Amino acid sequence: MGARNCVSLGAMSKPERLTEDAAQDAFAAIVNKGRGDRGVEDYEAASPARLGPERAEAWSRDGYFIVRALEDPAFCSAVNDAAIAQVRDMEANGVLLQTSRVKDGAFTIAEQNLSQDVENAEEKASKLYNLHRRGLFRDFAHREALVELLAGVVGDDVGVFNSQFIFKNPGAWGQPWHQDSLYFQFDRFPQVGVWLATSRATPETGCLYVLPGSHREPLHEHLPDSRPGANYGYVEIRDQDFAGAVPIEMETGDVLIFHSFLMHRSVDNVSDQRRTALVYHCGALGTKWRGVASPTVDWVPVCKEGVRLAPPEKPDRAPWSVRFKLGLGVLVFRVMGWFKKDA
């Protein structure tokens, strides 16, 4: 398995990599900034009765639990189709950039390492962000069974602030060991990850691995991914013993709920099937951002005073502030790419 076809999104046949050197170093510096000030004091579920004793205990002890068959496979398949339609539409109409394209507040990052010949947008994409205000993605954010779990872990007032669809195409490299809170420069912790398998996730297709109990670790230093040619934004923990790691094998429709300090990674997709997942991050309403403006943070309330909020009837789009930050962020990466070419 290797980087037989390294493609960037869009019409360019040769990759233009923004994923090395300056851009990766700059990204790592931004996300590590103020790392020591981010910590967790409370590891217990906020409302254990809403979770049930086994999940509440697993949350405290391991930093995660799995809920089997939370979603219907038909819903997962519709989610996959919607994500594919979105990246195809973006490729047809979007603003072409070196590693990402933006449309309506959503943007994509290209997969840098693939093992098969590719043609369509979904075969080249790695991640699609900023989805949780629209269509099926919004329905999932407000799903009763999911909101119940989130209220159990977070408390009575919960929002979804980040969403990604991950296209892990054949040959795609795994994301190295990391803690999601490194990316979240908030004024309080923890936040909660929701990883919905919209296809089977196994060690062959590139499932997650977690280190149980590592949510009690402080935020470790994360260095740029040491593999030349890794995807943009990949950073890794190197000062931890991962001998106790376990694979999280999932069937379509299973959900992993995990603490934002839990160390986790995914492995390479060595199969010939795409492995897909819808990943949300959630937290307590009222949480404030304290770091460098992030284009992937967009709070949508899903539970208030312990009561689930139904999705709004009208279609919704990210507020101008999120779209502005996104445009600015992409511009910065583009300028960095120019400098690299000139260097």
Nearer to ligand AKG, 48 or 291 (CB): 291
Nearer to ligand AKG, 130 or 311 (CB): 130
Nearer to ligand AKG, 281 or 325 (CB): 281
- Show the DSSP H helices in the chain as ranges: 21-32, 48-51, 53-62, 73-93, 121-124, 135-141, 144-154, 320-342
Neighbours of 187 (CB within 10 A): 12
Residues contacting ligand AKG: total by CB under 6 A? 9
Interactions with ligand AKG, residue window 263-302 (CB under 6 A)? 264, 266, 277, 279
Q: Which of 106, 141, 151, 166 binds ligand AKG (CB under 6 A)?
A: 166
- Least distance between ligand AKG and beta carbon 128 (Å): 12
Q: Which residues of 198-210 are buried (b: 16+ CB within 10 A; e: fewer)?
A: bbbbbeebbbbbb
Nearer to ligand AKG, 157 or 268 (CB): 268
Residue 5 in contact with ligand AKG, rule: CB under 6 A: no
Nearer to ligand AKG, 111 or 157 (CB): 111
Q: What letter would DSSP give residue 226? A: S
Nearer to ligand AKG, 40 or 277 (CB): 277
Residues 226 and 238: their CA atoms lie apart, in Å, by 10
Q: What letter would DSSP give residue 232? A: T
Residue 222 in contact with ligand AKG, rule: CB under 6 A: no
Residue 254 in contact with ligand AKG, rule: CB under 6 A: no
* Strand pairing class (106-110; 102-103): antiparallel
Going by C-alpha positions, the residue among 193, 242, 240, 245 that lies closest to residue 221 is: 240
Going by C-alpha positions, the residue among 288, 297, 299 that lies closest to residue 325 is: 297
Interactions with ligand AKG, residue window 179-198 (CB under 6 A)? 180
Residues 298 and 253: their CA atoms lie apart, in Å, by 25
- Least distance between ligand AKG and beta carbon 253 (Å): 16
Indicate the residue whose CB is closest to ligand AKG.
266
Using CB under 6 A, list all residues that contact ligand AKG: 166, 168, 175, 180, 206, 264, 266, 277, 279
